[in-house]
Amino acid sequence: MRILLIEDDSLIGDGIKTGLENFGFAVDWFRDGNEGHESLLQAQYDAVILDLGLPGRDGLSILKDWRSRGKTEPVLILTARGDVDERIAGLNSGADDYLGKPFSLKEVQARLNALIRRKSGVVVPEINYKGVTFNPQTRKTFYQGKEITLSPKETALLELLLLNRNKVLSKEMIENKIYAWDDEVSSNAVEVHIHHLRKKLHKDIVKTINKIGYIMED
């Protein structure tokens, strides 16, 4: 899953980016409000972590403009501002959740997973598909009850396909969802990840639609 992080504090931003990447997320981090605002208009994200006090453009202004443009990505406001009125202002401006600093990275992960599941129409904490069980919070995958070791990108791809069951995902869309802008992506990276999922889980876990993309069909 690809996350947009807009946070001007270098220590906090680096901690969130590194931690979420260790959990298997692809993260694009911007410190400036104007740059972060434009990023959501240029790329596809599964969720946004947005600070309110930003240089260039404040978080509430960014959020209001996104919503006025019809952008529906889930937004988690993460800020040191603990005033109730400011929390209400953030939620009324279109935020989906609110978490004050200091925070636990595990809680950030849990809230992001909940927002992404809700956006995808998945209400259960674990996702099951043809003998495969995936837990977004622990990032663990099981096949017929046995834990299967997947790489972070394989895990991200599996989650993306599970959350978009019965939808054909193009190679370009998959790359945009599991890689950040600063990642190096080889031309056959998606094909390699698909091959590994089939080998580690089962050969029919993902169906190839010739010249279109990949799908998990019920």
Encoded tokens for 112: 């992001």
The pLDDT confidence band at residue 1, using thresholds 50, 70 and 90, is confident
Strand 213-215, strand 207-209: pairing: antiparallel
Stretch 33-39: mean pLDDT, rounded? 96
pLDDT in tens, 3-12: 999 999 999 9
Say how far apart CA 86 and CA 77 lie, in whole Å. 11
**pLDDT reported for residue 183:** 85
- The structural domains of the chain, ordered by start, are 2-120 (3.40.50.2300), 127-215 (1.10.10.10)
**pLDDT reported for residue 81:** 60
The pTM score is 0.84
* Cα-only R_g, the chain: 18
Per-chain mean pLDDT for the chain: 92
Residue 13 has pLDDT above 90, yes or no: yes
pLDDT in tens, 121-135: 877 788 999 999 999
Encoded tokens for 99: 């978490």
Calculate the CA dihedral of residues 174, 175, 181, 187 and round it to 10 degrees.
Answer: 180
3-state secondary structure 94-134: CCCEEEECCCCHHHHHHHHHHHHHHHHCCCCCCEEECCEEE
